[in-house]
Amino acid sequence: MTKSANKLVIFSDIDVEKALKNAVKKPRPDIISELRESALKGRGGAGFPTSVKWNLAASAQGERKFVICNADEGEPGTFKDRVLLTDYAEQLIAGMILSGYVVGAKEGIIYLRAEYTYLKHDLEATIEKMRGKKLLGKNAAGKEGFEFDVHIHMGSGAYICGEETALIESLEGHRGEPRNRPPFPVTVGYLGCPTSVNNVETFITALHVVEKGAKWFKTFGTEKSTGTKLFSVSGDCEKPGVYELPMGITIQKLLETVDGTGAKAVQVGGASGICVPAKDFEKALAFEGVATGGSIIVFGQHRDMLEVAINFMEFFCEESCGQCTPCRLGTETLLEGLDLLSEGKCSLKYLRELTSLGETMQVSSKCGLGQSAPNAFLSIIENFKSEIFDTRCSCR
Amino acid sequence: MPNKENNTKLGSDRAPASSVASSVEVAKNEKDLGAMVAITIDGKDIKIPFGTTILDAAKKLNIKIPTLCHHEDLKVAGVCRVCVVEVEGQRTLQAACAYPITGPMNIKTYSPKVRKARRHNLDLMLKHHVGECYSCFRNNNCELQTLSKEYGVDFYRFGHDSEPHHDVDKSSYSVVRDMNKCIQCRRCVRTCIDLQEVGALEAINRGPDLDIDTFNSLPLGEVVCINCGQCINRCPTGALRANDPSDEIWAAIEDPKKHVVIQTAPSPRAAIGECFGLPAGTSVTRELNTAMRRCGFDKVFDTNFTADLTIMEEATELLVRLKKALVDKVDVAFPQFTSCSPGWVKFLEHFYPEYTDCLSSCKSPQQMFGAVLKTWYAEKAGIDPKDIVTVALMPCSAKKFECNRPEMNDSGYKDVDYGLTSRELAQMIQETGLDLPNLPPSDFDDPIGEATGAGLIFGATGGVMEAALRSAVEIVTGIKTEDVFANLDIIPVRGFEGVKYMEIVVPAAGPVPEILSKALGGLKDFGFLKGATLKVAVAHGTANAKKVMEDIKAGGKFSQCHFIEFMACPGGCLGGGGQPIPTSPEIRAARTKAIYAEEKTLYSRKSHENPTVNLIYKEFLKDGPCGHKSHKLLHTHYIKRGNKIV
Amino acid sequence: MLASERDQLKSEIIKMAKKHDHHRSGLIPVLQHVQNVSRHISPEAMQDIAEAFKIHPVEVHGVVSFYSFLSTEKKGKFVVRLCRTITCDMAGNEAVGNQLENELGIEFGETTSDGMFTLEFTNCLGMCDQGPAMLVNDDIHTKVTPEKVADIIDGYKNRFGAHVTTGEHS
């Protein structure tokens, strides 16, 4: 297995067993308060406050509750979860145990994407090891009366299953089509039970926050975007890989760290994120700036941005579940428009119509996939329109 | 004492993905349930119960929000995104049909953002909607067309396919699928899987490649489909339609050598007026007779006659089964199931083939009528049966399959040549320019136009059971049925509960009437039934039928029943797959009301009092109900189809 | 498929379904198993699976057709999935793709006539820092170059003799 090139300093600095046992000694409300105080937000990309999610799941009524780890990392340009699942599996499972304790769940499920099947064996070994240490099972983590266990459920190849309600549908044996929300999974989730779905990184970060305190966590990042965050950096830079950096770092600073300066643009947040041109590199990577689940793709000066837009739109056409009209047909229509642009056959009038359609998709699609599918299209058209027209438009 | 069973809630674990989240289960915290929430829609204030959808709240304010994938009979999908509205403070628009209100909010239903989104989503749907409105049977009754007009679609913004991308699937006798017109709202899928539990249609593939398709993409005629046509009634476009025989019927009418006879079932007359602008629940029985004559049908008969005949045969069959079990002590299959609904019959043949012995061997009224027309009537009228063309006006698409079952030729000819739906006849009448609601009324033709109210109520769920009980109670007990059930109304079997159950203790034993004496082996009276508790049940919609069947399999209370009425379609035949579009609980309730009101006007409401029924047993079916001749002509057998296709 | 093989598969399906209490949440694990052992999910298997879970065959078909790692068409013993997402694209996956076609003698979407290899594209494999990346069954290969392609393919051809089947971890 590929080990990550950059050791994650903060994440490495913990005695997992001790941290977990300390945590479950605390009353549940104290843990939620600590998380609230830390202002930790979900690390998967949507940025929902973790304390709120756990609190809702904890206060929801239900005989049976679930904690689900969303390890369906499929966002183009994102691979930090792969690194965490490889090198920090024990911390992940400890984070799930902690969540199970807070929420009142007995069952944890890791939804692991099919593409990561090669990680399953080692993950299972880690789970087994933790059962051996009595961190899982009855009286988990030494907490009298607390029972928790984890199993792995394999995905079958569908990006949309990273959307939490699609993930739950898939777990229940259905097509991975997102549900209507509300109700949210924290009240009506897997098998109709309250379910807390979190990203791999969120579980681990939560464990660190509870062990080291909100105050420590807030020494990193900005006021609104606290802590550090993992960034998956790829594309035209010298040192691609996973980086742990404080939230709020500017794109320029990040590019300097990875030897990617002089880039023409950076795609922040993967295919569903936005394309930031060089003139905006001083923007901060934070919830109040350019929000991201951590995917950073660097485009050098020689890259054709229209090709980039086409690649992303093809991705969405492939991965749209096809359930709702704006996503099923909007992605296809935008892709056809990009092909027209590529052939130099798109009128500006039609391009404006497509831009307007993109806005409709953003507001009227059923789930986050459809809502974010036009992002790359819109930001690339906005920032690189003249480049696209200068090189392609045969009608000028 | 009669007791009722309310059992209509559908299981949620079987729902397809898109419909799991409904407006019902928004929270489990008791404090929220039953609370009232104050909201504002388009500047109007209203208080609504916690969990009400935006769509339902708007309805209360008489604010119209357009819908497409939403249907009152079906679970919420929230996929077409036509009903989107703006909720103040939210970045994205929300689907009004799927959004349960759980707190105060300010909603705008027609802001520029909303109208733009609706228009775009319509434009997208029109992209691959191939087919011109003027060549479509849904022209002027198409939800997509209406919305396109309402939202001012005057050009195809994102293009429009001119070439079809799918072959039209005409493999089924009943349902034609033209997927070129499909907009993937999945109403048919939710109908087929949730409402009917048949599972012929599902969403296949994903993204732009998504198709509504059958198992293994087989032709519809080759998969497990019960032909109920409920998908047709709920399709918002012309993607699903019935297999229309009207061209052949017109040709027969024009052929001077052919004697074209039409029989009309009870449900079309209570609904066909809807195709002519009349409100649901307007009965046009006698105007319709005139219209059919003017279309050129040589004779117009009432299927209710053979409904009465069915009661005689089916009630006799039940009594024979009871006698065999209780007097002769031999093994007979119980409960006896009704067999008039061809959708139900095929449902059982596919999913519960081990129970074919429970199905009454009686043909449906349609098929009995065909067999009688090409034998008794042909003889009486002096017409060579080969020259008789029998058409059946039915509320049903499955009747088309039924009349094409190869075994349905006991008259020596194809007993019923064509099954014609209410919609198709309405089309034929419109083609002649006749103004149905204002035609002079006329009666059915003799000699077999005579029918009782018992035959008429076959159109509503519980009707067959009620008709059978009206005769059976009187025959078995010797007491007038109206003395047992006030006004002859057997209320516990009526109504729209999914499954109804009733017990009757037989209070007395009457003598065996002569007409039945042969079938009952010379038995003198019904003493063997005195004091017995007759248990009956009624189920409509095959999802409810499935519940009853599973209960029977598990040896539950329905396995103790003696007689169960099953209808494939929700509401019974009046909600059939051949009825005018649209359908909804209110429309079906109105049609039911019309049927029960008309029933009260008839000279008799008991099948065994039908003089023509008595005449046919005297003249033609001389060895009585379930006798040799009636067995040959009026009874049939079933096929253990199973649900394995490959 | 031989009748005995179908029976064998069916009994495995029933066993697995039972393990999941015939609840639909066990459907996808069963589909994954069938895909692994018979390299596709045949109409017969879909029907058997539907029966085991008391759902309709068309629902199983709907699920199979939704996920890209499940298929109704028979796949080769080794499924080569080349990542086509942006960073692998930028890292030169086109040349790798061409070479894969050359070495295998098939185009993307096809299976070699001996049933050994299927060549497909896939979306992001999460190896964006080490592209071009590809999966062969469950094995990940990174920084693939056109020159490496032949060796990788040969490696699998040779493993075939050692009876390595799909789904097994090495």
Residue A113 sits in a domain whose CATH number is 3.40.50.11540
Same-domain check for residues A191 and A260:
no
| Contact call for A173 and C27, based on CB within 8 A | yes
Domain boundary pick from A187, A215, A243: A215
A224, A204 in Cβ contact below 8 A?
Answer: no
Residue labelled with tokens 């497990």 = B224
Residue labelled with tokens 């203790």 = B505
Specify whether B573 is catalytic: yes
- Strand duo B36-41 + C117-122: pairing: unpaired
- Chain B CB within 8 Å of residue C27 CB: no
Three-state SS at B86: strand
Q: Tokens at residue B635, please?
A: 């009874």
Domain of residue A22: give its range. 9-215
- Domain extents for chain B? 255-646
* Residue C120: DSSP 8-state: E
Per-residue pLDDT at B16 exceeds 90: no
A206, A221 in Cβ contact below 8 A?
Answer: no
Same-domain check for residues A273 and A365:
no
Can you give the CATH number for the domain in which A365 is found? 1.20.1440.230
Same-domain check for residues A314 and A285:
no
Residue A3 lies in a domain: no
Tell me, what amino acid is at A270? G
Q: How far is CA A278 from CA A77, A379, B475, in A?
A: 19, 13, 93
Domains of chain C: 3-66 (1.10.10), 78-161 (3.40.30.10)
Give the residue among B77, B36, B78, B75 at the shortest CA–CA distance from B57: B36
φ, ψ of residue B351 to 5 degrees: the values are -100, -25
- Strand duo A274-277 + A265-268: pairing: antiparallel
Residue A96 lies in a domain: yes
Residue labelled with tokens 């052939």 = A343
> E-assigned strands of C9-148?
78-83, 117-122, 134-136, 139-141
Residue A346 lies in a domain: yes
Give the residue among B31, B25, B29 at the shortest CA–CA distance from A61: B29
| Contact call for C66 and A114, based on CB within 8 A | no
Side-chain half-sphere of B89: how many Cα atoms within 13 Å?
5
Residue A36 lies in a domain: yes
Residue A2 lies in a domain: no
| pTM given for the model | 0.95
Same-domain check for residues A18 and A140:
yes
pLDDT in tens, chain C (170 residues): 677 888 999 999 999 999 999 999 999 999 999 999 999 999 999 999 999 999 999 999 999 999 999 999 999 999 999 999 999 999 999 999 999 999 999 999 999 999 999 999 999 999 999 999 999 999 999 999 999 999 999 999 888 554 444 444 33
| Contact call for C90 and A319, based on CB within 8 A | no
Can you give the CATH number for the domain in which A282 is found? 3.10.20.600
Same-domain check for residues A70 and A115:
yes
Pick B17 or B349 by higher pLDDT: B349
Three-state SS at A296: strand
φ, ψ of residue C139 to 5 degrees: the values are -85, 140
Domain boundary pick from A299, A332, A359: A299
Same-domain check for residues A178 and A325:
no
φ, ψ of residue B228 to 5 degrees: the values are -65, -25
Same-domain check for residues A120 and A29:
yes
State the pLDDT at residue B29. 55
Average pLDDT, integer, range A261-290: 95
Residue A51 lies in a domain: yes
Three-state SS at A51: helix
Specify whether B86 is catalytic: no
C142, C88 in Cβ contact below 8 A?
Answer: no
Give pLDDT tens digits for B64-103. Answer: 999 999 999 999 999 999 999 999 999 999 999 999 999 9
Nearest residue of chain A to residue B90 (CA atoms): A363
C139, C169 in Cβ contact below 8 A?
Answer: no
What's the rounded Cα separation, in Å, for the pair B105 and B87? 7
| Contact call for C68 and A271, based on CB within 8 A | no
What's the rounded Cα separation, in Å, for the pair B642 and B644? 6
**Cα of A189 to nearest chain C Cα, Å:** 13
Catalytic residue among B5, B143, B313, B314: B314
Peptide bond into B335 cis (omega under 30): yes
Residue A220 lies in a domain: no
Which of C24, C56, C65 lies at the smallest CB-CB distance from B204? C65
State the pLDDT at residue B426. 98
Side-chain half-sphere of A276: how many Cα atoms within 13 Å?
27
State the pLDDT at residue A45. 83
Residues 30-59 of B with CB under 8 A from A: 30
Residue A282 lies in a domain: yes
For residue C166, the tally of other CB atoms under 10 A from its CB is 16
What's the rounded Cα separation, in Å, for the pair A232 and A207? 21
* Residue B373: DSSP 8-state: I
Same-domain check for residues A197 and A237:
no
Same-domain check for residues A381 and A319:
yes
Nearest residue of chain B to residue C70 (CA atoms): B205
Same-domain check for residues A237 and A195:
no
Count: domains in chain A:
3
∠ Cα C58 C64 C69 (to 5°): 175
Specify whether B407 is catalytic: yes
End-to-end CA distance of chain B: 48
What's the rounded Cα separation, in Å, for the pair B310 and B317? 10
Give the residue among B278, B260, B465 at the shortest CA–CA distance from B381: B260
What's the rounded Cα separation, in Å, for the pair C27 and C53? 7
Catalytic residue among B340, B396, B403, B626: B340
| Contact call for A366 and B79, based on CB within 8 A | yes
Give pLDDT tens digits for A280-332. Answer: 999 999 999 998 889 999 999 999 999 999 999 999 999 999 999 999 999 99
A94, A129 in Cβ contact below 8 A?
Answer: no
Hey, which residues does B264 pair with through a beta bridge? B302, B393
Hey, which residues does B48 pair with through a beta bridge? B37
Average pLDDT, integer, range A252-277: 96
Alpha-helical (H) ranges within B485-584 are 514-517, 542-553
Domain B255-646 is found in CATH 3.40.50.2300: no
Per-residue pLDDT at B14 exceeds 60: no
Same-domain check for residues A211 and A157:
yes
What's the rounded Cα separation, in Å, for the pair A164 and A159? 11
Average pLDDT, integer, range B227-238: 98
C69, A114 in Cβ contact below 8 A?
Answer: yes
* Residue A133: DSSP 8-state: T
φ, ψ of residue B382 to 5 degrees: the values are 70, 40
Confidence of residue B134 (pLDDT cuts 50, 70, 90): very high
| ipTM summary value | 0.94
